[in-house]
Amino acid sequence: MKEKPAAERGTRTGFTTGACAAAAARAAVLGLAGGDVPDEIESLLPNGSRVRFAVQDGRCDLDAGLAHAMVVKFAGDDPDCTDGAHLTVDLRLLPDQAGVVDYVAGDGVGTVTMRGLGLEVGGPAINPVPRRNIADNLREAAPELLARHGIEVTISVPDGQVMAKKTTNARLGILGGISILGTTGIVKPYSTAAWRASVVQGVQVAATTGHGVVALTTGGRTETFAIAALRAERPELPSACFVQMGDFLRYALDEAAAQGIGLVVLAVMVGKLTKIAQGETITHANRSEVDTDLVAEIGRRIGASAEDCAAMASAETARFGAELMVERGLGDAFHAALAQAAIDTLTAPDRYGRAFQLRVLVTDFSGNQVADVWSAPALPHDVPASAGRIGIGAIAHAENDND
């Protein structure tokens, strides 16, 4: 992918590891189907858009049913540890297994060793959206081939083990390399001053619409969820009322208070929600760890067993606790209690008080609403003393195609 002019630096978007792997897979399957791996490919992203990628090291062996291609990741202006990574894909034909797409972790791609990530333990750390995106590209590029045979997709990232040391993968039980990530295919520069400024500007624009509401989301999935939920109630809400704040809750809430917006909606998933409840206003993974003791405490409040609470406290993710509570039939109570804890934290007198009414909408990883909790209404002119000084700002981080 060609870089944009230097004058645009600070706001350039990049592409996720998943998007780059999908582009390499698409190029490689064209080699299997036609004998030649192209040196440039237009690939389908998870968000439905199409982008051209340069392809390197393309080769295929039709007799052996093998093909190989590589795409170099461009992370835009996000200080991403995987910027420049070589997303390498090897395809192997699976004769007479029509439509099957299997995934293998090659060198530098992690293996899942713990529950709570939504992936099979023992399997490759290739997230569900990239898996679907890769399969979509394979079937679109070579439909006749996939109608008769299956494909084994091995993704490798040279030096992925080194890159993984700059992430929280080991703590999450992902060993041996990086994860293949991405929900939209696009990496936005959430860590840059330019992106923080764009969040503030987005809230300012929302304030000018006259609707008195801003919906703050952490990324593509939560924004899609928020739009569907809120427009079902208020079809007239314009797109300007929805702001992807990424990890920058502090900046978004400070500006909402400054603009006098009456209702702030947070659309979140359990991981970010837990961080908010524990008092974090910069919510990226490298900014702080999830407090699973808090997750366990929420479990105790809703009547979870001592054994389950202990398991939640010792887990590495909040998602583990949420899924366990769903299994126990306590999912709704758990999510509602956690949302209330987040509201209690944010509306404390030394935080935002009642500068705005806060509504927390929680979605699970399938896009289903699992909680809807409101704070007390705003008080007139309740300007929080904390506005403008909560938190310490974000730091450089690993791939951030947020939820």
Residue range 274-329, pLDDT digits in tens = 999 998 765 454 455 789 999 999 999 999 999 999 999 999 899 999 999 999 99
Q: Is residue 386 part of a domain?
A: no
- Residue 399 falls within a domain, yes or no? no
The reply to whether 147 and 207 lie within a common domain is no
- ∠ Cα 296 299 303 (to 5°): 140
273 and 232, same domain (yes or no): yes
238 and 334 co-located in one domain: yes
Q: Which of 134, 152, 187 is the last residue of a domain?
A: 187
- In terms of domains, do 166 and 203 share one? no
Same-domain pairing of 138 and 247? no
pLDDT band at 399 (very low <50, low <70, confident <90, very high): very low
Q: List, for residues 187-235, the tens digit of each pLDDT value.
A: 876 556 656 777 888 899 899 889 999 999 988 889 999 999 999 999 9
Same domain assignment for residues 148 and 95: yes
Does the residue 4 lie in any domain?
A: no
Alpha-carbon gap, residue 272 to 320, rounded angstroms: 14
Are 59 and 204 contained in the same domain? no
- d(Cα 121, Cα 145) in Å, to the nearest integer? 30
Using the 3D structure, point to which of 187, 221, 249 is the last residue of a domain: 187
Q: Do 215 and 361 reside in the same domain of the chain?
A: yes
Q: Which of 140, 179, 159 is nearest to 41 (CA)?
A: 140
Looking at the domain assignment, is residue 307 inside a domain? Answer: yes
SS3 label, residue 227: helix
What CATH number did the domain enclosing 20 receive? 3.30.2110.10
> Which of these three, 128, 156, 187, is where a domain ends?
187
Task: Establish if 381 belongs to a structural domain.
Answer: no
In this predicted structure, what is the pLDDT of residue 210? 92
Shared domain for 152 and 241, answered yes or no, is: no
Asked whether the CA dihedral 37, 67, 130, 9 is positive or negative, the reply is negative
Q: In this structure, are residues 216 and 250 in contact, taking their beta carbons and an 8 Å threshold?
A: no
Q: Count each helix (H run) and each strand (E run) in the chain, helices first.
A: 12, 18
Q: What pLDDT is attached to residue 386?
A: 46
Are 95 and 84 in contact by the 8 Å Cβ rule? The answer is no
Counting Cβ atoms within 10 Å, is residue 57 exposed (0-12), middle (13-18) or buried (19+)? Answer: middle
288 C-beta neighbours (distance < 10 Å), count = 13
Q: Tell me if 53 sits within 8 A of 40, measured CB to CB.
A: yes
CA 291 to chain centre: 19
Q: Say if residues 28 and 37 touch (Cβ distance below 8 Å).
A: yes
Say if strands 101-105 and 150-156 run parallel, antiparallel, or are unpaired.
parallel
What is the SS3 assignment for 147? helix
Looking at the 3D structure of the chain, how many domains does it have? 2
Query: Residue 163 above 50 pLDDT?
Result: yes
- Does any domain span residue 379? no
Q: Is residue 397 part of a domain?
A: no
Q: Are 298 and 333 in contact (CB under 8 A)?
A: no
Tens-place pLDDT, residues 48-81: 999 999 999 999 999 999 999 999 999 887 767 8
Residue 283 and residue 348 in one domain: yes
What is the per-residue pLDDT for 403? 47
Q: Is 94 exposed, middle or buried (0-12, 13-18, 19+ CB in 10 A)?
A: middle
The pLDDT of residue 223 is 93
Comparing 344 with 379, the larger pLDDT belongs to 344
Task: Report yes or no on 332 lying in a domain.
Answer: yes
Residues 355, 244, single domain; the answer is yes
Q: SS3 string of 384-396?
A: CCCCCCCCCCCCC
pLDDT given for residue 25 in this prediction: 98
- 115 and 50 share a domain? yes
Q: Using CA atoms, how far apart are residues 259 and 243, in angstroms rounded to an integer?
A: 15
* Host domain of residue 134: 14-187
CB of 151 closer than 8 Å to CB of 371: no
**Is 164 in contact with 219 (CB distance < 8 Å)?**
no
Confidence of residue 12 (pLDDT cuts 50, 70, 90): confident
CA-CA distance, 324 to 335, in Å (whole number)? 12
